[in-house]
A and B are shown apart, each in its own frame.
Chain A
């Protein structure tokens, strides 16, 4: 099970990235882009430069995502609603097409990553996996706490205002474009961290990471888990993963049907996501659950 918690933390961080954009009313259908950029940046560094240090790989993944998102942000911050969703989707599919036809990077097969090392320490086998697991836990929780701070910061609140009434935000003298740009970059960074860690756990990257089906899954997790709290996407991906594992086990031929039914039922009965199960009882009180990320584990 540790393996699935581990895997779902990687994808959970991407769902986190989707979720903070949703706070501003923006649905990114191409968050797989940064998931993939992180994974490939780490993979290519390992493959071509022979570096396997986790911290270097993480840094390179983050820098790659930062540069790309800073540039693309200038374009995307001008669009809202369906146009934002479609543009993010289009960009991620461009990368998908590029990677699928690049023979040096294994085309649709992708390529393998080495076992990571930690500042010169190179654990293997069980120790290596536990080390990576613990580090992933810390990084995921760290990201969740940092994003929680972000959502409670002025720009975080501006995001909610953008969702409600963007015109008024502009009249109040704040730049909605700037807030969206920053949010987009933050989402990119956290997604790329997720990408690097996920790739290192599995030891393999392929272009499927940036395919629209993968991106769609992240959006789905965010809807399923709700955007009420930063812990929600992390818990949501884990639950989805567990449901998938048991669905595959119970009916190997039609597991997608079970997964689909669970999703459908969640949407029908919990329109505000799984997180609303926890907040429903204290509706009268304003939500203040700053210490929530601990529940991610």
Chain B
């Protein structure tokens, strides 16, 4: 027994030592602003989504620390403080416990990230409970501020919710295709897919009441095989097939669907598909309607900030940035914009300044105008895919840009009510 005790105490001191080593670097610098970055680092969403987002976080934070970002972000750090980071994997069964750990053990000042609506739904109340400045960078579902946290204090989202993507997609379809009479869809069976389809079909119905729904499929997320769903859609022959698939599922749908002629029979609209462009290239059929959830990737505006981002990202990682990278960058810039404006690195001050803020990102102007200034609206664009064999690169053409006020509901109006009411208050050019 004595030996066991000795063993245990050795083990305990070893564990203590590990803790000490782990804690040491954080005390070294004087004024630091510690950011927890959460992104998919493993699992099916890592390759197309999580890794580009993490790369962008590294790039922006390094540049911000060095003060090499273009104006107006050319001051070093966040509100004068140097930024340090803790990166964690979103692909974890203990998402909430990991969040609590970032706050309590790592003592972060702010947390940015989260891509999956499932994660966001679970984390949203936790962020408010722990009173920690949390900026969701992706997450599509409008439920976050419309149902789960209705009076946000600490929680922000710097990306428009799924309503924007689908209202814009519906407008694009109705405007560019003269003779739409039937629509169908294939969406994942969870909040993001269900909300996306609901918003799209309601929007189309609102814009053109002669359109009918034929076939709607809801396979499970990360299913990977869509043979029977594609058969059903081929059978129903809708004029338009809508899908909000993302990441690996999206790539599977493109490969399986194009092989079986789905893209030839129907006009396919993919609301979150720019991530597939550098990865699939010629495999995406020409003419497919491509969305990037905002002015990201191929739709990025020609500003100094956007061009700097594309070049710096390409130089460092050897590939073009895709929408998750833009979205992550946008959420970090949001904190920097609020901190610089109030000239403080205190999270309490930052969250005050961030509410209702309008700031510039590499995807154009972002207005924190919904949910008491905690939910952003941005402009977005749609176009059709065109693969250029000569350069070996995919591009978009027939691009139409929709202003933020045109495709996002006004403050204090729920997404569904707004669409059903015929987009009251929408300002479109």
Contacts and interface: CB of A to CB of B under 8 A. Distances in A.
Contact of A100 (B3, B4, B125, B220): B220
A287 to B, nearest CB: 14
B194 A107 contact: yes
A79 interface: no
Contact of A248 (B3, B89, B104): B89
Contact of B101 (A3, A108, A125, A277): A3
Nearest to A2: B104
Question: Which of B96, B122, B126, B141 is most buried by chain A, counting CB atoms within 10 A of its CB?
Answer: B122
Contact of B89 (A3, A101, A206, A255): A255
A253 interface: yes
Nearest to B3: A281
A108 B189 contact: yes
A228 B118 CA distance: 38
Nearest to B121: A109
A112 B121 contact: yes
A111 B147 CA distance: 11
Contact of A252 (B89, B97, B194, B221): B89
Contact of A112 (B86, B125, B189): B125
A214 interface: yes
Nearest to B188: A108
B316 interface: no
A39 to B, nearest CB: 13
B117 interface: yes
Contacts of B357: none
A7 B94 CA distance: 8
Contacts of A201: 96-97
Interface string A109-120: 111100100000
A101 B126 contact: no
11 contacts: A3-B100, A108-B189, A108-B220, A109-B141, A110-B122, A112-B148, A202-B94, A204-B121, A206-B118, A253-B41, A278-B4
Interface string B163-193: 0000000000000000000000000111100
Interface string B199-240: 000000000000000000010110000000000000000000
B74 interface: no
Interface string B24-53: 000000000000000001100000000000
A109 B4 contact: no
Contacts of A175: none
Interface of B: 1, 3-4, 7, 15, 18, 22, 41-42, 86-89, 92-98, 100-101, 104-105, 117-118, 121-122, 125-126, 129, 141, 148, 188-191, 194, 218, 220-221
A203 interface: yes
B42 A253 contact: yes
Given A106-B191, A107-B194, A278-B4, A248 B98 contact: yes
A246 interface: yes
Interface in A44-97: none
A202 B220 contact: no
- 7 closest Cβ pairs, A-B complex: A204-B122, A109-B118, A107-B190, A202-B96, A108-B190, A3-B100, A252-B87
B402 to A, nearest CB: 28
B96 A203 contact: yes
Contacts of B194: 103, 107
Interface extent on A, as a size class? 35 or more
Contacts of B148: 112
Given A108-B190, A112-B121, A281-B4, A214 B100 contact: no
B96 A204 contact: yes
A244 B95 CA distance: 13
Nearest to B18: A246
A244 B89 CA distance: 11
Question: Which of A106, A111, A125, A246 is most buried by chain B, counting CB atoms within 10 A of its CB?
Answer: A106
A208 B93 contact: yes
A201 B122 CA distance: 12
Contacts of B118: 108-110, 206
A174 interface: no
A281 B1 contact: yes
Contacts of A103: 189, 194
Nearest to B38: A252
B88 A277 contact: no
Nearest to B43: A256
Contacts of B117: 109
Contacts of B95: 202, 204
A107 to B, nearest CB: 4
A155 interface: no
Contacts of A139: none
A271 to B, nearest CB: 18
Given A7-B94, A277-B7, A112 B87 contact: no
Contacts of A4: 97, 101
Interface string A192-223: 00000000011110101000001001000000
A268 interface: no
A277 B97 contact: no
A108 B121 CA distance: 11
Nearest to B92: A248
B93 A214 contact: yes
A217 B218 CA distance: 29
Nearest to B218: A101
Question: Which of B3, B89, B97, B101 is most buried by chain A, counting CB atoms within 10 A of its CB?
Answer: B97
Nearest to B87: A252
B105 A1 contact: yes
B4 A202 contact: no
Contact of B22 (A110, A249, A282): A249
Contacts of B15: 242
Contacts of A108: 118, 188-190, 220-221
A245 interface: yes
Contact of B191 (A107, A242, A282): A107
Nearest to B7: A277
Contacts of A277: 4, 7
A141 to B, nearest CB: 20
Given A101-B218, A203-B125, A252 B96 contact: no
A278 B218 CA distance: 52
A252 to B, nearest CB: 5
